[in-house]
Structure 1
């Protein structure tokens, strides 16, 4: 990593929300809700095949082989298994370089046929054309509350879909009793305790809770930043619960008090390691540690996200990575809840929490001098 934190600012790129989930979780129903919503104008919805969605003909204002324009202004495109080319073409139509010209200011991608959206998320950083045109707003995973425990036990794909999500939509609440519901929440918390969660029936959710979330790179809104890192209870929290359940938590304080919580669910060795550190960190040491961890774990390190406190700098720095690709570190405006401390969440397969904890403790700064003034360059 060779980028210093950048300042918060407006990002002109089009935000993309990836919607994933296991078979039968309710993705198609969710997409139909979006397409029919009067407020979804200027939203580009990308699906694999039109036939898989079953769009009401009364909603269609104009149609072609690969695109439908709906009466509410929403655009629906069929990717036909070539999502990258669809995104390229859509943007060229948006800027008038291709006909027909279309207008959209946000994108929702329903990932049927794509079990793992993380390579797509990586492409938004590694593909220059995509990176200049789009930014990742959030990865949203639908969970079937009725069957999630069995699906997580049986499928590595299902475990990863839950583990990488910025937001989990816990669907089919009407089909489970309270005890079964709590068990399902415990199961997903064991893989991803600090994701934002919403509880739904029949995939019914407002657009404001699905699009424009700022959860992958929460640069602007303090509320989304607090939810993203687990410092603020997410919407619907009274129903689904929130907190450290299932997360292997390591708290570092100046008095060296440690609290260890442990995952109550064994889902194929996928776990979350959550670390809090009050002492300021050395920026370069932490960047070096991130490089080391990505080399050691490779694609088995699914997600890294956190707010970091560095010596000599009072502003929180957002750290965000998907597998082996990290976004440039970015300054946030304020600390959520006024708590100035490092809070890191690492999610992956086979993570050694105690080892990661020890190595992060070694990143504590031994100096009060601002790290950027020590002449060491940047990582």
Structure 2
């Protein structure tokens, strides 16, 4: 039996892929502990999960001021904001708490999200084997030279501030890094040097706590899911005006994830809710219109669903490009959405079979990749190789 400590950021899309991996490990007799922000993490975990929370006051003081600014930045500015205002401050604020959790729980291995650097830094300090989880392939490819060089500098400054040896990429483990995608989808870019295991999306069942009116799903005709993800849902009211006007008269049913205020303001062919059970819903739709968030894109492609992607920030332009280059969808510019181009894109994706065929091809590569079982096996084998079993290294 190996005791794993999963250290995760307060980001739904970075937590969900790990739930299936943790479940697979538990089914094989291993012990899983979670460390994160209670408000963001605990509602996503199954009942009975061993959860340990960061200090609530410190977490609130760090995260709440970020929400408004996060909804405003775009493009390369959003990458700068991500690291300067979120990744690095989060690492410094939580590093002592991760170290305390290690002292108390005595984990044999740390599994830490790539953007949760306190997990990696604490593991290095405590000399515990650690594996990074990579929920977006944009983070491991050399896509934007100017951004890559700047990120390397910022991460070096963080390590110096923590009085640690500077690694070029401290977010990548020298032992193993689990990438929730496949080369068939992500394309062939130059990679940063690290041992990567491409496992595809982790689609094992996860707790579904949202109520959804399943009886309102249309028995015939195409269905379209529209979502901007958890972080961007409240970003821009104009988006909801445009899509409702564009699709009100189309012969399709739209499931729209939107702020609560929109629930009773959408046309008759819409089902609108602030949250939906996305994984459970995907088998019942014909296409997805989203922000090019990596998890939503990969979950959609895993179900063979073509996409309309309108990237907003961070890695999303890279993921959108992967979708269009694979032929699995149509790209739109978020800031230039109109009723006409939205309607045209939706019609195109629903009518042209080539998009669905490309999505199914990518989905087949995901199915072959191994998913949660391969991720769990990689963790177990890495722990065994390091001697990290039953009590530590």
Whether TM exceeds 0.5 here: the answer is: no
Using the size of structure 1 for normalisation, the TM-score is: 0.28
Using the size of structure 2 for normalisation, the TM-score is: 0.27
Bigger proportion of residues as helix:
2
